[in-house]
Structures are given as C-alpha cells and as structure tokens.
Amino acid sequence: MRTTPAKVDDWLFGQDDNPPAGETAEDAFDSFGPITDISRALQRPAHQPVTQGPHDFTRILVAEGDAYHRRVLRVLLASPRVSAIEVEDGQAAVDLLALRSFDLLLLDMDLPQMTGVEVIRWVRRSSTPWADIPILGLLNDKRHHEAGKLMSIGMTDWTAKPLSRHHLADKIVHLLPGLYDAGL
C-alpha cells in the first residue's frame, strides 16, 4: 500500500512537531545547504542544457618526433578545454593509446621506432574501442604527395608543416566539432 509523500515540514520536524519559533521549513538548513535551494533545484525542468564541467576536456595525443614542433603544438593547442599529451616516438604513442583514452591523435609521419604509417596500420588493425580514433597527420613538404595513400590506410585528415594556427584549428574543429568555441 502506497502512502502519500511526506511534506518537507514533516520530513524535517516530524509530523507532530512544529518548527521552532521564527523558523519555517524553507529556512531550514541541512548538510547540503538551505532547503529552499534544494527544493528550487528539484522543481526545475530536467531538460536544461548541459554545460561543460570544469574537468571536461578533449584529450589529444601528440606524437611528434621533433622537439621544436612539439613546442609549437603545445602553444597552438593551449586551451582550457584541451588536454594534450606529447610523445616523441611511434612506440610510445601506441603504448599510451593502449593505456588511456584519447579523442584525437596528432601524428607526425617521420617518427623514430615506429613510423607514422606503422602507427596508423597498428591502430586501425587493432580490435580495440579506440581503433576508430580520428588521426590527423602532420606532413612535411616531402610527404604531401603521399597524403592520398596515407588516407587510404586510415589517416582521417592531414595538415602541412610548418604548422599554421588557423589551418590546424580548422582541421581539429572539423574532426571534433565540440571544440568550435575552445579558442584554438
């Protein structure tokens, strides 16, 4: 048998008790804050737009062999909405992908230990949840003509080196539309 829900007054002070003089149920305070704030929050519609919390950010793995380009990427990706982790070689990129989840892989093609081509093949052939991670290739002048081949083996898109802030931001926002207002 279902009973009628208790009122806030009943819950706070018991059904037979009265609130202390000068204090109403709306003025009461519990460990979560004033009851009026809690009751107002519960009465709001549930379909409010979701805002990004302070720890929500896009995770980008930067696999770049050259220290100068890593530094440039660090500056270009500086945003409170982006968390970029840098590695120097392809093997470290593959190892880190196996340990953590990322939203995007920025991949230089001329990496030591495992080249960018080997990393792309390894990622796409793996039977893991992140096998479909977007891969943005970083191609120098010598590799521009290989862009079509690299995209056929699994690279999602590419950008040219030397890097341009505007061009890189456009490519990243195209791959991750949620970053359109991140200030890249």
Q: Please list the rounded mean pLDDT of every run of 10 residues in the chain (184 residues).
A: 53 52 52 54 51 64 92 88 90 90 91 91 88 91 85 92 88 85 68
What does the pLDDT read at residue 138?
92
Give the model's pLDDT for residue 53.
Answer: 44
Report which DSSP code applies to 108. E
What are the tokens at 11? 């819950």
* E-assigned strand segments in 40-168: 58-63, 82-87, 104-108, 135-139, 157-160
Other CB atoms within a 10 A radius of the CB of residue 146 amount to 15
Tokens of 19: 């609130």
Q: What is the pLDDT of residue 118?
A: 94
Q: What pLDDT is stored for residue 162 in this prediction? A: 87
User: How far, in Å, CA of 103 to CA of 69, rounded?
Assistant: 20
Domains and CATH numbers, the chain: 8-43 (no CATH), 58-179 (3.40.50.2300)
CA 84-103-140 angle, 5° bins? 65
pTM of the complete model: 0.67
**Contact between residue 171 and residue 136 where contact means Cβ atoms under 8 Å apart:** yes
